[in-house]
């Protein structure tokens, strides 16, 4: 019985660490996307609309990948 509880606690702990790392990765990715978009707009203000559109699409993809990673971590925790 004790071994089962230890395994479940380890599964929840490792899924929490995985979800936290995924969120950190999303934060870094969004920071890079936003920073480089601002740099591009500063260099060429006339193409602000195109850069903004590309930035929003890239940010949505980064957020989606992060959400997927968190869901996978939680599903793995619930599996055990």
Model pTM score: 0.80
Digit-coded pLDDT (tens) for 10-68: 777 888 888 889 999 999 999 999 999 999 999 999 999 999 999 999 999 999 999 99
Cα first-last separation, the chain: 14
Q: What is the 3-state secondary structure of 6-36?
A: HHHHHHHHHHHHHHHHHHHHHHHHHHHHHHH
For residue 4, the tally of other CB atoms under 10 A from its CB is 9
Q: Which domains does the chain have, with CATH numbers?
A: 2-79 (1.20.20.10)
pLDDT classification of 76: cutoffs 50, 70, 90: confident
Can you say whether residue 5 is alpha, beta or left, with left for phi > 0 and alpha for psi between -120 and 50 degrees?
A: alpha
């Amino acid at each position: 019985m004790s071994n089962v509880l230890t395994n479940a606690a380890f599964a929840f702990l490792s899924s929490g660490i995985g979800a936290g790392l995924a969120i950190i990765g999303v934060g870094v990715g969004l920071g890079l996307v936003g920073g480089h978009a601002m740099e591009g707009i500063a260099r060429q203000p006339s193409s602000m609309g195109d850069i903004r559109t590309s930035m929003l699409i890239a940010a949505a993809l980064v957020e989606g990948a992060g959400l997927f990673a968190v869901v996978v971590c939680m599903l793995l925790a619930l599996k055990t």
